[in-house]
Structure 1
Amino acid sequence: MAAAASCVVDFGVERVTLAEIARRAGVSRPTVYRRWPDTRSVLAALLTGHITTALSDVPARGKTREALVQRVVAVADRLRDDDLVMAVLRSELALVYIAQRLGSSQQMLIDALAADLRAAQHGGGVRAGDPRQLAAMVLLITQSTIQSGQIVRPILNDDALAAELAYSLNGYLS
């Protein structure tokens, strides 16, 4: 994974090859092919790893709507600051996960959010509704903020963007 990450940073997502990943990892191409069928699979695993780490590094601080929103915003901030995640989101590969299908990291985030939303609903802090549907919408709102935050940076600095994301999510979930 470290070899793949260094390739993304050095070349960009579109120019990463399995041959270069193998060379940097000090293994043969067949060794890489035994684990991943293609470069896209390696990149998807790399992205999932970074997203999973961001989620686990930001623990839930309660079962309230406010705690859930704080966690989502904190994870979004971490992902916006992750050069590798942002390189992948700015690539053509991201279009697959934005417009065509949910990736495994998105499914994992929806599952985690749905569990947190269900708990917050039991406490009365989150409105009624199917937790998976609410989680999918929270994912869309947050994903859009992560992807597009840079274009509004002259208007919304990082702190303002985080505050507005929190306001949006609190309003949606109330």
Structure 2
Amino acid sequence: MSAGPMVSASGRKIRNTASPRDQEDAIVDAAAAEFTEFGVRRASIDDIARRAQVSRSTLYRRFPNRESLLLAVATRLYLRGMRQLENAMVGLTPKEAVAEAFAVGAALIASDPLMHRLVVDDEEMRSVISSSVTAMFIDAVTDRTVATLRSLGATRADDELREVVELMIRLIISLLEVPSGDPETREPEYVRGYATRYFAPMVW
């Protein structure tokens, strides 16, 4: 059951007088909680508004439909995940960084309920995010990963390094969308070994 609206001692609803930016953050927080618990289609817009302590009309001014709300949630999840991956790669060689990034990514998917639902469990949630958005996501991750590997000393030509990184990202998306029946293959240590054997040699 979602949290109800905050009320005063007299029973009157307390309005959210936060700035538009703070309201947006509260809405995205609330949507993330609803999507984690119920998925995209079953999530209640009214309950998201109540969690965020905003009116339904305020929510729709910020996010005109649930697809735009899911995109905001997924974007925040992506940015947080990329920061963790980049931090994990600091001080490593390019080859070590590739293996570590895959291991940390596997751990994030395993430990974060919303990320696990978005990437692995909820086909309906993935279907809401269009192929064009997925392509934009791949481009963004590729750009940041190439920049990180370059900062760690990767010397492969720019166009080749970008092709290699994009290939790795597309492969891992494919593996996540159609996972092996063996749960061990999703464990971070297995993923680290897999990436060390097959992906790391592609980077220099």
Once residues 138 and 158 of structure 2 are traced to their aligned partners in structure 1, the CA distance between those partners, rounded to angstroms, is: 23
Summarize deviations over 1:143-165 as a string: whole Å, max 9, x none.
23444446331x53612233213
Matched residues, percent identical? Answer: 22
Larger Rg: 2
Listed as ranges, the matches of 1:12-27 within 5 Å are 12-27=39-54
The CA deviation at 1:112 is: 0.4
Structure 1 unpaired stretches of 5+:
none
Is 1:65 the counterpart of 2:89? The answer is no
Summarize deviations over 1:56-77 as a string: whole Å, max 9, x none.
1231323632243123431342
Summarize deviations over 1:79-99 as a string: whole Å, max 9, x none.
3322101212323231465x8
Partner in structure 2 of residue 107 of structure 1: 139
Summarize deviations over 1:90-145 as a string: whole Å, max 9, x none.
23231465x8224454333122012134445x644x47743332222121122234
How many residues align? The count is 170
Equivalent in 93, 99, 102 of residue 125 of structure 2: 93
Is 1:74 the counterpart of 2:104? The answer is yes
Partner in structure 1 of residue 13 of structure 2: none
Once residues 157 and 31 of structure 1 are traced to their aligned partners in structure 2, the CA distance between those partners, rounded to angstroms, is: 40
With normalisation by structure 2, the TM-score equals: 0.68
Tell me which amino acid in the other structure corresponds to 1:156: T
The CA deviation at 1:27 is: 0.9
Tell me which amino acid in the other structure corresponds to 1:62: G
Structure in which a larger fraction of residues adopt helix = 1
Once residues 167 and 113 of structure 1 are traced to their aligned partners in structure 2, the CA distance between those partners, rounded to angstroms, is: 19
Once residues 50 and 77 of structure 2 are traced to their aligned partners in structure 1, the CA distance between those partners, rounded to angstroms, is: 22
Once residues 11 and 43 of structure 1 are traced to their aligned partners in structure 2, the CA distance between those partners, rounded to angstroms, is: 13
Is 1:156 the counterpart of 2:185? The answer is yes
SS in 2 for 1:37: coil
